[in-house]
């Protein structure tokens, strides 16, 4: 009975960690990464469409993204979408492909990005703690309603804490890797 509730909470926690991982993948760290363009949508025949569904995105050099649209008529729309995005990049269009040169980040900009990344990680930690709180409240309620014994309740609460600690450790590892990637010159 308690294991079902624990498993559901663990799934929610894992989803929170995955959302953070995806969020951080799209943050610019001074080197070209196709994931940077995941959040950019192009108005393609009136429908907002992700760039990766309209073009092939490759990284020929560490500081260059190459966007090769499958439909050459969409090249202007892709260029507009990149300019409108919050990436701060200027696309270079030669009629066949779009080149995105990733400029070197300044030390000041790197620290701003690290602050932003830490804030997102903390929000994820808070979300995981909220899941743990709800889980423990649910276990205590079941104990109060005499659905589970006091021993089962205590064991369930201990397991809830272990699952929480594991997921927060995962968040800290993701944060550490991203911080290192951002600060790398």
Q: How far apart are CA 163 and CA 21, in angstroms?
A: 18
Residue 123 and residue 95 share a domain:
no
Mean pLDDT within 154-159:
92
pLDDT given for residue 74 in this prediction = 87
Q: Is the pLDDT of residue 185 over 70?
A: no
Per-residue confidence at 109, pLDDT binned at 50, 70, 90? confident
Mean pLDDT within 128-134:
95
Q: How many other C-beta atoms lie within 10 A of the C-beta of residue 56?
A: 12
Mean pLDDT within 136-164:
91
User: Which residue, of 82, 101, 120, is where some domain finishes?
Assistant: 101
Contact by Cβ (8 Å): 97, 67? yes
Residue 116 and residue 167 share a domain:
yes
Give Cα 69 distance to the centre of its chain: 25
- Residue 66 sits in a domain of what CATH number? 3.30.1360.40
The residue among 40, 29, 22 whose CA lies nearest residue 85 is 40
pLDDT tens-digit map of 63-106: 888 999 998 888 888 888 888 887 778 888 888 899 988 888 78
Residue 115 and residue 162 share a domain:
yes
Residue 83 and residue 141 share a domain:
no
Structural domain range at position 70: 34-101
Q: How many other C-beta atoms lie within 10 A of the C-beta of residue 4?
A: 8
Domain count of the fold of the chain = 2
* Continuous segment of H or E residues that includes residue 43: strand 41-44
Q: Is the pLDDT of residue 173 over 90?
A: yes
Residue 130 and residue 88 share a domain:
no
Tokens matching residue 176: 């550490």
Residue 139 and residue 75 share a domain:
no
């Amino acid at each position: 009975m308690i294991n079902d509730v624990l498993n559901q909470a663990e799934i929610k926690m894992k989803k929170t960690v995955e959302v953070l991982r995806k969020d951080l993948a799209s943050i610019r760290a001074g080197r070209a990464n196709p994931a940077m363009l995941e959040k950019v949508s192009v108005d393609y025949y009136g429908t907002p469409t992700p760039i990766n569904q309209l073009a092939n995105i490759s990284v020929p050099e560490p500081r260059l993204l190459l966007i090769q649209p499958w439909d050459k008529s969409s090249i202007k729309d892709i260029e507009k979408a990149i300019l409108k995005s919050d990436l701060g990049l200027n696309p270079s269009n030669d009629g066949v492909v779009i080149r995105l040169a990733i400029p070197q980040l300044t030390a000041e900009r790197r620290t701003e990005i690290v602050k932003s990344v830490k804030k997102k990680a903390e929000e994820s930690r808070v979300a995981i703690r909220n899941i743990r709180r709800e889980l423990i409240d649910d276990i205590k309620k079941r104990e109060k309603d005499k659905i589970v014994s006091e021993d089962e309740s205590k064991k369930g609460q201990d397991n809830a804490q272990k699952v929480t600690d594991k997921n927060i450790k995962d968040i800290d590892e993701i944060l550490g890797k991203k911080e290192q990637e951002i600060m790398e010159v």
